[in-house]
Amino acid sequence: MSPRTLLMISGYDEPPEHLETLANGRHGFPGLRAHGFECAMLPRCYEQLRYRIDRLAETIEEMRKDGYPFPITLLGYSLGGLVARGFLRAYPQRAQDVESIVMVGTPNFGVVTRFMPHLVRLFRIPDRAIDDLSHESDFLRWLNGTGGHWEIDPRSRAKRWTLDREPLLGADGTRNRVVAGLLTTRYGGTGDGVVGGDSASLGSRFPTHYIVGPHCNHMNLIGHFDPLIFLWTGFIVNDLVWPHTLRAILRFCGAKLPVPANA
């Protein structure tokens, strides 16, 4: 099997090493490298997302010079999915570099960030991208090609973010794939406890694989413990979910699937 290149992009205030479980596997379950992928990591960056997109463009060019097989797959977790998707928004002329984009737990509508700036200041978190994650951010307006507004669902009386017009989906509208968690706990199965399912799928506009169950929280999608999210939500990491994320990534990439894990 010819090697394929997968460039992994970590989330908010996360080092690339947080994606090593997906790349290498754990506890006897093989990761992406065992399935023929050459996994590279975007270096850690604390700047706002538009700057990270430019860093991603530079990294992709360096990978080409270093002889990585092209075209590549971009795999972005959480905030990293916005960076991956933003690459083709900012550099549409380089669409031939990218075979596909897989976003895991990515807030394509944004997330509610009203409490996050206080935690950022309290814990002196250096990452500067928190404002870009808001539903109403200039970044997401640029990425989606439209803004939005809050509406009240007449059945549930819950607020729902609605785009003002149809968004931009990508270079050809078919490159993006999404893996999203739906918790079947007190959160009601509407998201992974951090990113709503509607936000991850961009209002069902992207092909989405939902992983559903009581352990399908934002951290478990990649099998890594994040102290900030633990303080915010109380989620505890385990090995019940990330193998299913791995299977979804492999299926999206057309790779041979491993034997299903017990969940």
Residue 257 lies in a domain: no
In a domain, 163, yes or no: yes
CATH number of the domain where residue 43 is located: 3.40.50.1820
pLDDT, residue 220, reads 93
| Residue 247: predicted pLDDT | 96
Torsion of CA 150, 184, 120, 236, to 10 degrees: 180
Mean pLDDT by 10 residues, the chain (263 residues): 88 91 93 95 93 97 96 97 97 94 97 61 69 94 96 82 93 82 75 93 96 92 74 70 96 74 47
Question: What pLDDT shows up at residue 6?
Answer: 97
Both tokens of 98, joined, read 């990218």
| Any domain includes 260 | no
Among 175, 168, 22, residue whose Cα is nearest residue 99: 175
The CB density around residue 132, as the number of other CB atoms within 10 Å, is 23
| Residue 91 within a domain | yes
C-alpha span between 252 and 22 (Å, rounded): 15
How many CB atoms are closer than 10 A to CB 64? 14
Q: Looking up tokens 């092909």, which residue turns up? A: 207
Looking at the domain assignment, is residue 151 inside a domain? yes
Alpha-carbon dihedral 60, 62, 65, 69, rounded to 10 degrees: -40
Domain that holds residue 222: 4-252
Report pLDDT for 41: 97
Residue 150 has phi, psi (to 5 degrees) of -85, 135
| Residue 151 β-bridge partners | 160
239 occurs within a structural domain = yes
Q: Which residue has the tokens 């009581």?
A: 214
What local confidence, expressed as pLDDT, does residue 263 receive?
A: 44
How far is it, in rounded angstroms, from Cα 33 to Cα 13? 24
Within a domain: 263? no
Query: For the chain, where are the alpha helices, taking DSSP H only?
Result: 20-24, 49-65, 79-90, 116-122, 138-144, 197-200, 227-233, 242-252
16: Cα separation from own chain's centroid? 13
Domains contained in the chain, number? 1
Q: What one-character DSSP code corresponds to residue 208? A: E
Q: Which of 146, 154, 204, 169 is nearest to 92 (CA)?
A: 169
Looking at residue 184, its pLDDT comes to 87
The pLDDT value recorded for residue 226 is: 66
> Do the domain assignments include residue 138?
yes
**Number of residues written out for the chain:** 263
